[in-house]
């Protein structure tokens, strides 16, 4: 069930009541059952994979914890990572690698049929595997002070607010909260509901409504003018941000109601003044995961190559980042392009190059840096959004003919309105230093806004097809 569905809200209300109704020592079990009910609603068969893989990961983690020698710890963690990545590879990447390999052979005149197997990708597999891997890493790096039982770990790895699309939590952050005694708290309930309402607004009244329009433009760009395509590209940047940030707010809100604090996933990414800064603000749970568990080890490995070692580490990290999003060349190229942006920033350092990381204090220059960063990121989003290279070719061709069409004013009005609302929300978040901006308002004002937003969102959901969360397919 999706967060933007009535069935989810019914489930959430019942699950929360049961969760607080049972005695505190049964609370994790109640949560675990809710997690699996939630996950099985999509397809019950995937629950078996989730259960078996995470159970295995739990025992591997326990073995790491028990091992005394560094060598055996290293062997066990390698085994744990290999098992998880293999499973991820089979379910997500087998066809991609098989087809890519055959394509490569074809370039050398060797013709083979690719081995393609009809595999359905289990929902949220990239998220829960990456989250489970932190259990292995945190045991390996001895970041976990306490011992955890199987139920606690299974609750962590299938935690329903985050299992579909994150935020990717760390074992050392979430597991102590799972172990702790959580009691019903009115403040948590209020904060959680406000975050959910805010997230739904971002998701439904910004992300979804943009998506409904531009999906048609990206699907068949040949029927649209350059201006309409240009607007769609600009709007996609706003769509993907609000879709995912909205999702993250809802996830945080749901977790808050249950008594958990999960990590921040977005911090006004389009106000970043460099691409490096953008990655400190975008999908933070994932970008920091990559930094901690991929980039730093790679940097360490290539430390003898000096600057080139860093560049290799950056490019490899972003290739993995692209591939994580999907088994498709466009995601790899998107990751590679970001790798290039960051490598250039690293090379140019603090000089005046447009790709530099230079932090400026002058307001005008700062604004220019923000715009420059936004343009670079938006250009990369084109690769992320197109479904294949034929579509990309058509899209670029249509863009190149500079046609305007009869709806310039209307597209301009729509695009500017979405930009305005998205940036105003970001500005308020930045000003108040919180993503839960309703909590910063007078209680009566926050309540009034929440009532209207909730009624309008539910009305909209009743009368239109609900759109899936973009990141839920990764």
Partner 1 sequence: MPDFSNRLKTLLILLLTIINSIVFFEIYFRLTEIILPSFVYDDIEIGRTHKPNALVNLVGAEGFYMGKINKYGYPGKEYPPQKDEKVFRIALIGDSYVEGFQLFERHHFARLIENEINNNSQRKIEILNFGTGGADFRGMYLRHTKLALNFNPDLTLYFLKREDLLKKDAIPVPEPILTKDSIFFQPIKLNNTASKLRETFAFVREYSVGNLFKEVFETIYTGRLPQVVFEKLFFLVSDNSQMVSEKISENEDRFYNYNLKIIKQLAKLNEAGYKILLIEVEKLPEDYISLIKSNNIEILPLYSELQNYSKYELNYWKASGKLGHWNQKAHKIISKYLSEILINYNF
Give 469: exposed, middle or buried? Use CB within 10 Å, 0-12, 13-18, 19+: buried
Sequential DSSP letters for 19-48:
HHHS-GGGHHHHHHHHHHHHHHHH-HHHHH
User: Please, where are the H alpha helices in 67-185?
Assistant: 70-88, 94-107, 125-140, 150-157, 171-179
Are the beta carbons of 58 and 154 closer than 8 angstroms? yes
Q: Does 300 bind partner 1 (CB under 8 A)?
A: no
Q: Does 448 bind partner 1 (CB under 8 A)?
A: yes
Q: How far apart are CA 209 and CA 94, in angstroms?
A: 34
Are the beta carbons of 144 and 172 closer than 8 angstroms? yes
User: Can you tell me which residue has the tokens 């809710």?
Assistant: 34
Q: How far apart are CA 291 and CA 294, in angstroms?
A: 6
Least spacing, CB of residue 211 vs partner 1, in Å = 9
216: annotated active-site residue: no
Q: Does 140 bind partner 1 (CB under 8 A)?
A: no
Q: Look at residue 357 and give its three-state secondary structure.
A: coil
Kindly provide the b/e burial profile for residues 445-464, where b requires at least 16 CB atoms within 10 angstroms of the residue's own CB: ebeebbeebeeebeebbeee
Choices 27-35, 142-150, 160-168, 410-418; region in contact with partner 1 by CB under 8 A: 410-418
Of 177, 185, 215, 378, the residue at the interface with partner 1 (CB under 8 A) is 215
* Nearest residue (CB) to partner 1, 349 versus 443: 443
Q: How far is CA 65 from CA 2, 78, 144, 192, in A?
A: 36, 14, 9, 35
Q: How far apart are CA 175 and CA 171, in angstroms?
A: 5
Choices 27-35, 120-128, 130-138, 399-407; region in contact with partner 1 by CB under 8 A: 399-407
Of 312, 414, 428, 439, the residue at the interface with partner 1 (CB under 8 A) is 414
Q: Does 181 bind partner 1 (CB under 8 A)?
A: no
Q: How far apart are CA 463 and CA 177, in angstroms?
A: 39
Q: Does 409 bind partner 1 (CB under 8 A)?
A: no
Q: Does 193 bind partner 1 (CB under 8 A)?
A: no
Least spacing, CB of residue 402 vs partner 1, in Å = 17
Choices 23-31, 188-196, 310-318, 407-415; region in contact with partner 1 by CB under 8 A: 407-415
Q: Residue 163's closest CA among 47, 72, 277, 66?
A: 47
Choices 28-36, 69-77, 393-401, 460-468; region in contact with partner 1 by CB under 8 A: 460-468
* Nearest residue (CB) to partner 1, 330 versus 369: 330
Q: How far apart are CA 311 and CA 289, in angstroms?
A: 19
Catalytic: which of 172, 283, 325, 338?
Answer: 325
Of 413, 430, 432, 434, the residue at the interface with partner 1 (CB under 8 A) is 413
* Nearest residue (CB) to partner 1, 270 versus 286: 270
* Nearest residue (CB) to partner 1, 113 versus 406: 406
Q: Does 365 bind partner 1 (CB under 8 A)?
A: no
How many positions of this chain bind partner 1 (CB under 8 A)?
44
Choices 186-194, 208-216, 251-259, 431-439; region in contact with partner 1 by CB under 8 A: 208-216
Q: Does 112 bind partner 1 (CB under 8 A)?
A: no
Least spacing, CB of residue 203 vs partner 1, in Å = 13
Alpha-carbon dihedral 217, 223, 229, 231, rounded to 10 degrees? -70
Of 26, 106, 220, 308, the residue at the interface with partner 1 (CB under 8 A) is 220
For partner 1, the binding residues in 28-57 under the rule CB under 8 A are 41
Q: Which residues bind partner 1 (CB under 8 A)?
A: 1, 5-7, 10, 41, 205, 209, 212-213, 215-220, 223, 405-407, 410, 413-414, 417-418, 421, 442-445, 447-449, 451-453, 456, 459-465
Q: Which residue numbers are catalytic? A: 325
């Amino acid at each position: 069930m999706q967060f933007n569905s009535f069935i989810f809200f019914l489930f959430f209300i019942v699950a929360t009541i049961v969760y607080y109704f049972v005695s505190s020592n049964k609370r994790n079990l109640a949560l675990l059952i809710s997690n699996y009910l939630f996950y099985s609603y999509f397809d019950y068969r995937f629950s078996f994979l989730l259960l078996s893989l995470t159970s295995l990961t739990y025992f591997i983690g326990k073995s790491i914890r028990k091992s005394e020698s560094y060598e055996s710890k290293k062997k066990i963690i390698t085994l744990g990572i290999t098992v998880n990545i293999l499973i991820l590879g089979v379910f997500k990447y087998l066809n991609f690698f098989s087809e890519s390999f055959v394509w490569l052979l074809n370039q050398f005149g060797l013709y083979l049929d690719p081995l393609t197997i009809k595999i359905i990708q289990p929902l949220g597999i990239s998220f829960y595997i990456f989250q489970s891997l932190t259990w292995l890493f945190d045991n390996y790096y001895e970041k976990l002070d306490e011992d955890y039982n199987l139920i606690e770990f299974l609750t962590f790895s299938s935690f329903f607010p985050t299992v579909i699309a994150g935020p990717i939590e760390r074992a050392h952050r979430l597991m102590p909260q799972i172990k702790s005694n959580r009691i019903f708290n009115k403040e948590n309930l209020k904060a959680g509901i406000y975050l959910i309402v805010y997230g739904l607004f971002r998701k439904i009244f910004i992300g979804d409504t943009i998506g409904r329009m531009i999906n048609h433009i990206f699907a068949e760009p040949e029927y649209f003018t350059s201006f309409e395509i240009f607007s769609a590209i600009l709007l996609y940047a706003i769509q993907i941000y609000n879709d995912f940030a909205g999702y993250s707010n809802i996830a945080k809100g749901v977790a808050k109601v249950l008594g958990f604090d999960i990590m921040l996933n977005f911090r006004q990414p389009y106000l970043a003044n460099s691409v490096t800064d953008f990655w400190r603000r975008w999908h933070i749970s994932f970008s920091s995961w990559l930094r901690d568990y991929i980039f730093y080890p790679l940097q360490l490995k290539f430390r003898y190559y000096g600057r080139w070692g860093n560049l290799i580490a950056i490019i490899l990290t972003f290739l993995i980042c692209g591939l994580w999003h999907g088994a498709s060349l466009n995601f790899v190229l998107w990751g590679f392009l970001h790798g290039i942006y960051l490598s250039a920033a690293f090379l140019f350092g603090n000089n005046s190059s447009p790709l530099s990381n230079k932090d400026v204090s002058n307001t005008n220059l700062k604004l220019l840096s923000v715009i420059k960063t936004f343009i670079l990121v938006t250009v990369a989003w084109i690769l992320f959004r197109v479904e294949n290279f034929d579509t990309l070719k058509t899209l670029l061709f249509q863009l190149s003919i500079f046609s305007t069409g009869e709806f310039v004013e209307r597209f301009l009005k729509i695009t500017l309105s979405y930009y305005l609302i998205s940036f105003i929300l970001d500005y308020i978040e930045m000003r108040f230093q919180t993503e839960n901006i309703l909590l910063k308002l007078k209680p009566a004002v926050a309540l009034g806004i929440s009532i209207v937003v909730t009624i309008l969102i539910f009305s909209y959901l009743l009368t239109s097809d609900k759109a899936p969360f973009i990141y839920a397919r990764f």
